[in-house]
Structure 1
Amino acid sequence: MDTVEHRSQDAPAFIERALSHLAALGMRVGWSGHADEYGQAVSGTLTIQDGGQPHTFSAIASPSNTKADVAMFPHGRDTVLISERVTQTRAQQLKDRGWGGYVDSSGNASLRGDGLVIEITGQSNSRSAQQSTATAPFTRTGLPVTFSLLAANEHFGITPSQRALADSSGASLGTVNRVIRALRERTPSFLEGKHNELLRRSALEHEWISAYSAMQPTAWPEERFTSDIWKKPSDLLDVSLPPAALFGSEIAAARLGAPIRPASVLIHLSGNAGDRRELIRQGRLRKDEQGMIRIRPALCKNPPVPSNNRTAPRLLVRADLLLEDDPRIDEIRTQFFGDDR
């Protein structure tokens, strides 16, 4: 008989489905949820018993699993991911990032223990296809609003008015209203009170980074250039960019004092065509798919906070570094820009 045990409150449906596939193999499976939250994710303990001694794994359970999640969620060699759907690409990233394995609600699993080996791939289930973040704060139009809110709250200590959020993000007041309403109606809520006091900022930042990382390649695609003046990334460390341009990723970290040697230069560029022409003229830039200079459309119409040394806000720099997908810079990212761990 299939057996799934719970030693805490009822598990979300995707955990139930994932565990039921293991139980269908004749194993006794247990799940105990913990109080820790990371955005939509929760921590817990997964226990599997196949006739002998039980095998216990630390676990992070999240309905979605982006590349940023794989890097941000706290994990070690004994930590497994429980999710809706883990693709083979994501499974390889989990392995590369030092996870202990995974279980998904489609029936795929990769687990190792003393005397235990579970390796199941190729299972699919349309009901449990990986969910996109479709709520208003994390859509293509909502992400700039949520970003403006988070950046301004960190810098000024308050949540801006809806008109101020519209002015900085470039979104309509209707979009801002939908984002604010969704953040207030979440359970548990992210905003409360007359002045929309921000709660659980770390959790909201995690969800924002996860959604932005998934959308950036198509929503804010970047172009690469070679410069006739700037021959290596360090040449730009003391350059004064046009007002509409902000440094991101490794070059931003370096300008803020992080011990990192940038391999490329990411510039977030907002404003009109004249600003773009000015930057291209300043560096004598030429399009080059292998060029070290990357220009990415700015997330917002206007910077939500004053820039520090012409760098993007901390949250965006942190997301940029995660998008580099380079485990070598994880320690620097955590030290200088914070993490959910």
Structure 2
Amino acid sequence: MSKSEHSAYRTPEFVERAISHLGELGAHAEWKSSSEEYGHAVSGTLLIGADGKRHEFQALASATVTKADVAMLPHDRKTVLITEQVVPTRARQLEDHGWGGYVDAAGNASLRADGLIIEITGKRSPDKAPVVTAAPFTRAGIPVTYSLLTANDHFGVTPSQRALAASSGASLGTVNRVVRALRERTPPMLQGKHNQLLRASALEREWISAYTAMQPSIWPEERFTSTVWRTPSELLEAPLPPNALLGSEAAAARLGAPIRPASVLIHFDGDARARRELIQQGRLRRADDGMIRLRPACWKVPPAPPFNQTAPRLLVRADLLLEDDPRIDEIRSEYFEDT
């Protein structure tokens, strides 16, 4: 095959789908294309972050791959193939011809590196890739949709895909998949060059439903008692680290709702040092019935500036629903639902 070069290359849609599947496994995957093409294939680098390690794979991406391509495309034991689908026969051919592995847009993958093994087979891709309407509400998509909704509510515009990736901590492929699903909904949730958000209230309801269903398993919280703060009101008056945001009843009380919190929920964005400082400040001790609840945040960087150190309205609504208390439902409906 002839080799050609060009100055710019957009990530193919099938590559975005392939790396988004890796993101659903909990790996941070990214594609960086180079300026080299080999016929219908383009070279690049597949970057995967997992368990605190970063792995780089030399890669070739091609939507279609024939038996001849497997033999003729330049590769070695460190080169992986990214394509629409790798059927078992093609997988054996790749192994026989000395490829380093593969990832496809159907969800199959065979990747190996020091401390990393990914082996998924049996996934099938339809003739035309379907619109993945569930993408905004999967484990990987929920933080993206949250960042989109929260930033849009605060700034009035939808952030760029890269900004959503930075805020949510998701891969760019996952973000693109979420945006594509929202654009291709019927009727659409996003439209136009700048992804104008439509039917925000409907999208918020769907997000809350997905978050409340998945929260206990994906963002489990820990409970603590304190020898410094013996009541919720004492903790509400204490200074908190800037990356700690109040949720649920505590946030509702801080925002003026007529409620006396029975516990204090605090969302942390992953800053381990600040979390330790809070534990030391309050002399916290783990206890199953403790009034202080620490929960991992569903964002990497807050998508909008917090108000009075409380979580955004969307998350407070979801938190209050999780309490499953009719008394709290009345507060939620009056203070945090759309009018």
Quick check: 2:136–2:144 contact (8 Å CA) kept in 1? yes
CA distance in 2, matches of 1:147, 1:333: 19
Q: What's the offset of the Cα at 1:272?
A: 2.8
* Residues 1:333 and 2:332 are matched in the alignment: yes
- CA deviation after TM superposition for structure 1 residue 134, in Å: 7.4
Tell me which residue corresponds to 1:14: none
What corresponds to 2:289 in structure 1? 290
Partner of 1:20: none
Q: How many residues in Structure 1 have an aligned counterpart in Structure 2?
A: 208
* Consecutive unaligned residues in structure 1, runs of 5 or more: 1-132
| SS of structure 2 residue aligned to 1:333 | helix
Query: Are the counterparts in 1 of residues 150 and 304 from structure 2 also a CA contact under 8 Å?
Result: yes
Tell me, in whole angstroms, the C-alpha distance in 1 between the residues paired with 2:272 and 2:162: 26
Indicate the SS of the match to 1:186: coil
Cα distance in structure 2, aligned partners of 1:144 and 1:286: 29
Residue type of the partner of 1:241? L
The match for 1:221 is 220
Could you say which residue in structure 1 is the equivalent of 2:230?
A: 231
Q: Look up the match of 1:191.
A: 190
Counterpart-to-counterpart distance in 2, 1:282 and 1:243? 14
**8 Å contact kept, 2:219–2:298:** yes
Identify which range, 266-275 or 153-162, moves more after superposition: 266-275
The offset of 1:205, in angstroms, is 0.3
CA apart distance, 1:195: 0.5
Name the CA shift for 1:134/1:226 in 2 (closer, same or farther; >3 Å): farther
Question: 1:152 matched to which residue of 2?
Answer: 151
SS at match of 2:333: helix
- What do the CA deviations read for 1:306-326 (whole angstroms, capped 9, x no partner)? 011100010000100000000
**3-state SS of the aligned residue for 1:159?**
coil
Amino acid at match of 1:198: L
Structure 2 distance, partners of 1:142, 1:168, is 12
Q: 2:210, 2:217 → 1: CA distance?
A: 12
- Bigger Rg over Cα: 2
For structure 1, which segment, 198-207 or 134-143, has the greater mean C-alpha deviation from structure 2 after superposition? 134-143
TM-score after normalising by structure 1: 0.60
Correspondence for 2:249? 250
C-alpha separation between the residues in 1 aligned to 2:338 and 2:192? Answer: 27
Counterpart CA distance in 2 for 1:196 and 1:182 is 12
Does residue 318 (structure 1) correspond to residue 317 (structure 2)? The answer is yes
User: What's the secondary structure of 1:312's corresponding residue?
Assistant: coil
How is 1:1-341 mapped onto 2 (pairs within 5 angstroms)? 135-339=134-338
The answer as to whether partners of 2:133 and 2:182 remain within 8 angstroms in 1 is no
Taking structure 2 as the reference length, the TM-score comes to 0.60
Q: Distance in 2 between matches of 1:235 and 1:296?
A: 20
Q: Which amino acid aligns with 1:221?
A: P
Partner of 1:51: none
User: Equivalent residue for 2:88?
Assistant: none
Deviation at 1:298, TM superposition (A): 0.6
CA distance in 2, matches of 1:195, 1:293: 41
Opposite residue 168 of structure 1, the aligned amino acid is S
Q: Give me the CA root mean square deviation.
A: 1.3
State the alpha-carbon separation in 1 of the partners of residues 238 and 305 from structure 2: 18
**Which has the higher mean CA deviation after the structures are superposed, 181-190 or 331-340?**
331-340
Cα deviation digits, residues 140-159 of structure 1 (max 9, x gap): 11000000000010100000
Question: C-alpha displacement at 1:271, in angstroms?
Answer: 2.7
- SS in structure 2 opposite 1:310? coil
Q: For residue 141 of structure 2, what is the amino acid of its counterpart?
A: G
The CA distance in 1 between the partners of 2:270 and 2:239, in whole Å, is 17
3-state SS of the aligned residue for 2:290?
A: coil
Structure 2 residue runs of 5 or longer lacking an equivalent are 1-131
**C-alpha separation in 1, matches of 2:142 and 2:209:** 11
Measured in 1, the distance between the counterparts of 2:237 and 2:133 equals 41
Give 2:129's aligned residue.
none
1:135 shift after superposition: 1.2
- Supply the distance in 2 between the matched residues of 1:301 and 1:325 (Cα, whole angstroms): 27
1-structure distance, mates of 2:237, 2:166: 30
